[in-house]
Structure 1
Amino acid sequence: MTRVIKTQLVKYSRLAHERGLTAAFGGNLSIRFGNRIFIKATGAVMDDLSEQQVAVIDMNGKQLSGIRPSSEYRLHLAIYRERPDVKAIAHLHPPYSIAISTLLRGELPVITPEAEIYLRRIPIAPFKPAGTQELADVVAEAMLHSDAVIMEKHGIVTAGRSLREAFYRAELVEESAKLWYLSRS
Structure 2
Amino acid sequence: MSRIAKRQLVLYSRKAHERGLTAAFGGNLSVRVGELIFIKATGVVMDEMSEEQVSVIDINGNQISGVRPSSEYRLHLEVYKIRPDVRAIAHLHPPYSIVASTLLEEKLPIITPEAELYLGRILIAPFRPAGTEELAKVTAEALRETDAVLMARHGIVTVGKSLREAFYKAELVEESAKLWYLSRNERKNQRLTSPAQVPQEPPR
Measure, in 2, the Cα distance between the counterparts of 1:158 and 1:60.
21
Is residue 141 from structure 1 mapped to residue 168 from structure 2 by the alignment? no
Deviation at 1:116, TM superposition (A): 0.3
4+ residue segments displaced more than 2 Å: none
The one-letter amino acid paired with 1:111 is I
Following the alignment from structure 1 to structure 2, what is the Cα–Cα distance between the partners of residues 113 and 67? 42
Which position in structure 2 is the counterpart of 1:119? 119
Q: Which residue of 2 aligns with 1:43?
A: 43
Q: Distance in 1 between matches of 2:138 and 2:52?
A: 31
| Counterpart Cα distance in 1 of 2:17 and 2:65 | 25
Question: Which residue does 2:107 correspond to in 1?
Answer: 107
Shift of 1:2: 1.2
Structure-2 separation of matches of 1:137 and 1:4: 29
Secondary structure of the 1:20 match is coil
Rounded to whole Å, the distance in 2 between the matches of 1:81 and 1:178 is 31
C-alpha deviation, 1:111, in angstroms: 0.6
How far apart, in 2, do the equivalents of 1:177 and 1:160 lie?
Answer: 20
- Map residues 40-119 of structure 1 onto 2, 5 A cutoff: 40-119=40-119
Stretches of structure 1 that go unaligned for 5 or more consecutive residues are: none
Q: Return the index of the structure with the highest Cα Rg.
A: 2
Q: 1 CA distance for matches of 2:157 and 2:97?
A: 11
Q: Alpha-carbon deviations, 1:15-63, whole Å to 9, x = none?
A: 0000000000000000000000000000000001000000000000000
**In 2: Cα distance, 1:148 partner to 1:70 partner:** 20
State the shift of 1:3 in Å: 1.0
In structure 2, the partner of 1:30 is 30
Q: Which residue does the alignment assign to 2:199?
A: none
**Aligned counterparts of 1:184 and 1:159: Cα–Cα separation in 2:** 27
Measure, in 2, the Cα distance between the counterparts of 1:160 and 1:102.
25
Question: C-alpha separation between the residues in 1 aligned to 2:19 and 2:176?
Answer: 15
Secondary structure in structure 2 of the residue aligned to 1:89: strand
Aligned to 1:102, the other structure's residue is in SS state helix
CA distance in 1, matches of 2:2, 2:45: 20
3-state DSSP of counterpart to 2:42: coil
Letter in 2 for 1:165: E
For 2:146, the aligned partner's letter is S
Distance 1:111 1:145 in 2: 20
* SS in structure 2 of the partner of residue 25 of structure 1: coil
Match of 1:6 in 2: 6
TM-score of the pair, normalised by structure 1: 1.00
Three-state SS of the structure 1 residue aligned to 2:120 is: coil
> What SS is found at the alignment partner of 2:143?
helix
Partner secondary structure for residue 107 of structure 1: coil
Question: Once the 2 structures are TM-superposed, how far is the Cα of residue 143 of structure 1 from its aligned partner?
Answer: 0.2
